[in-house]
Structure 1
Amino acid sequence: MEIILIAIALAMDSVAVSIASGSKYKSIDFLSALKIALFFGLFQGIMPLIGYYMGGLFASFVNSFDHFIAFAILVFLGYKMIKEAMEDDFEDEIKDLKNKTLLILAIATSIDALAIGITFSFDVIDIWYAVSVITLITFVLCVIAVYIGKKLGGFLEDKAEYLGGIILIILGFKILLSGLNII
């Protein structure tokens, strides 16, 4: 269940940009929606994998205080997402739907996933399962988000990022309290 919540939280940046894509390009077709979702889904899945292997290089050194690191990373990322939701005008970020633009947006929205991958290396986790869940959930949510953007415009963009930020902060506190044997 925790992986699913993390996947949903990580997907929210991509969902917000997907909503903006649908809002800005009202005539977007299904294949374009799939292309957007594929870019975001793949990068949301690849980045935690990279982070996991990077974190594995020093996980044994931080074993006794890894819950503090995971807590700090998750709370920081959650705060950052909430702050960005207050500031961003997502439609301005989407100049076009060319591969180069989508690649840049996919990388930008998946940096948080790299940090989450590092926290995964501190725990016993099936990284391939986690990456698969993150990729699939991001992909599905982004396809849906493009169509929500077409129907509702940009109204929900910032709400998605708020939700993602709150989920990451809650998970950060859960990991900290669990690491301190409080729960």
Structure 2
Amino acid sequence: MSGYIGEVTALLFLAFALGLDAFSVGLGLGMQRLRLKRIALIGMVVGLFHIIMPFLGILFGTMISKQIGSLTTLAGGLLLVGIGAQMFFSAFNYRVKKMIQPIGLGLYLLALSLSVDSFSVGLSLGISGVKTAIALMLFGLVSACLSWMGMLIGRKVEGFLGTYSELLGGSILIAFGLHVLFG
């Protein structure tokens, strides 16, 4: 029993580490005056992608080369920098409609960029023989909760910062994207 608790505890810490990027990006997204319904949907999609990506990593781990993995990390980082830059610069012009929003394809691209690191974790999970279903559920649940927390905190901060919140939110997304690219 203690071995099972130790394994679940280790998976919980791993899930928390994987979900921290969703929290960081959630802070920036929350400053966009998102409705609670949109926040709930974004968190669910991010959580779902944190289940799908490690599952795909487990399934296709031996078939995928390291070079393809580095290209997905590059694409995810560039996407976050692009969303952050668009958000940052749109703060200077209130007439400009936001081009990239967490709806439709933009939401799925955002969730994909946040869960790319989960894919590589899935590769190692398949090799280690860990309890896959528990790991995947923990990854999804923790990342969804952390993204919700980030967006709700970002939403509150936006009220205090007013027009500067969009600059801060964009800066957070740019910084996280650069961290994905170069960190």
The verdict on a shared fold, with TM-score over 0.5 as the criterion, is yes
Return the letter of the residue paired with 2:19. Answer: A
Return the letter of the residue paired with 1:39. Answer: V
Distance 1:89 1:50 in 2: 26
Question: Structure 1 residue 88: deviation in Å?
Answer: 5.1
Choose the corresponding residue for 1:51, options 57, 62, 65: 57
Q: TM-score, normalised by structure 1?
A: 0.63
Indicate conservation of the 8 Å contact 1:44/1:110, yes or no.
Answer: yes
Q: How far does the alpha carbon of each residue in 1:141-162 deviate from its partner, in whole angstroms, 9 at most, with x for none?
A: 111110111123547948x96x
What does residue 145 of structure 1 align with? 150
What does residue 123 of structure 1 align with? 128
Unaligned runs of 5+ in 1: 59-72, 166-183
The share of aligned pairs that are identical, in percent, is 21
Choose the corresponding residue for 1:92, options 71, 77, 85: 85
What is the 5 A alignment of 1:26-175?
Answer: 26=33, 28-55=34-61, 57=62, 91-92=84-85, 95-152=100-157, 153=165, 154=168, 157=172
Unaligned runs of 5+ in 2: 1-8, 64-68, 88-99, 158-164
Question: Structure 1 residue 90: deviation in Å?
Answer: 6.2
Choose the corresponding residue for 2:18, options 10, 14, 21: 10
Q: How far does the alpha carbon of each residue in 1:84-109 deviate from its partner, in whole angstroms, 9 at most, with x for none?
A: 7xx95863366212121010111111
Q: What secondary structure sits across from 1:121 in the alignment? A: helix
Return the letter of the residue paired with 1:126. Answer: K
Return the letter of the residue paired with 2:27. Answer: I
Indicate conservation of the 8 Å contact 2:50/2:139, yes or no.
Answer: yes
Cα-Cα RMSD:
3.3
